[in-house]
Structure 1
Amino acid sequence: MADLTEVLTPPRHRVERRAMGWWALRTAATTAVAGGVLLAGYLLITPWRPWTGPALLVVLGLGLAHLLVTPPWRYAVHRWEVTDEAVYVRTGWFVREWRIAPLSRVQTVDTVRGPVQQALGLATVTVTTASAAGPVTLVGLDQHTARRVAGELSAITARTRGDAT
């Protein structure tokens, strides 16, 4: 059995640096939609102005703060690694979550590339296991890395003994 300190060392790989752009675009889009709704209310419904004006400023301020803080913070924290034994993922803001999925428990490996991810050359690999905690997700990978990882996981899983339950 592996030494516990070996298992809990940080996973080796960072997400792709372009993932910061993806996270920033998602934050900007959410802020724009919320701000747009409040702005429309402010401009079109006069009785709402006393509260929509301040709410709009709060949404824009929080959106800007989120835009400036979230992408670099997530990039600094998110890590992943795939070995012949397991998939390791570390995420989190203030509370760090470490997910370790033994390959003998892997049921499916999926690769997802939404429109923005495609434009940025990114992909997400989702490793579904028999765990009640849900799938292990490797976000913000380079599309070529994601393809390679999904292929490696499929090959390793096919060679791994066990019934993935």
Structure 2
Amino acid sequence: LFPLWWFRTHRWEITEDAVYVRTGFFWQEWRIAPMSRIQTVDTVRGPLEQLFRLATVTVTTASAKGAVRIAGLDHEVAADLARQLTRITRDTPGDAT
């Protein structure tokens, strides 16, 4: 039941311009982090995530709202995503402030 709920309430997309993340069922939150505002990209794997071969990608921006998190990813997908975001942000003009 939990994977079905998670699938229906969490969405994310990466483009050349921004990171888009939507979470929530009753109260939905839609976050957009422009590539030019990204400061760091981190991959975190806690003990349970390691057990199930999952990871969380955290995209830190210069936003007062805080970091954008994409949780529950396969650990290999998370590593590829972090590499892709690092490449795109490196090639994107802007000072991330």
TM-score category (smaller protein): over 0.9
1:108 matched to 2:77: no
The residue identity in structure 2 corresponding to 1:108 is T
| Distance across 1 between alignment mates of 2:26 and 2:6 | 11
1:97 alignment counterpart = 29
What does 1:44-123 correspond to in 2, within 5 Å?
71-123=3-55
String of CA shifts for 1:65-107, please: whole Å, max 9, x gaps. xxx5x55322211011111110010101201110010000000
What does 1:25-40 correspond to in 2, within 5 Å?
none
Q: 1:124 aligns with which of 26, 31, 56?
A: 56
Runs of 5+ consecutive residues of structure 1 not aligned to the other structure: 1-67
| Distance across 2 between alignment mates of 1:80 and 1:86 | 11
Q: Percent of aligned positions with the same letter in both sequences?
A: 62
Q: State the 4+ residue runs in structure 1 displaced beyond 3 angstroms.
A: none
Which structure has greater helix proportion?
Answer: 1
- Relative to the length of structure 2, the TM-score reads 0.94
* Count of matched residue positions in the alignment of Structure 1 and Structure 2: 97
1:162 matched to 2:91: no
Larger-gyration structure (1/2): 1
- Relative to the length of structure 1, the TM-score reads 0.57
Which structure has greater strand proportion?
Answer: 2
Runs of 5+ consecutive residues of structure 2 not aligned to the other structure: none
| Distance across 2 between alignment mates of 1:143 and 1:104 | 25
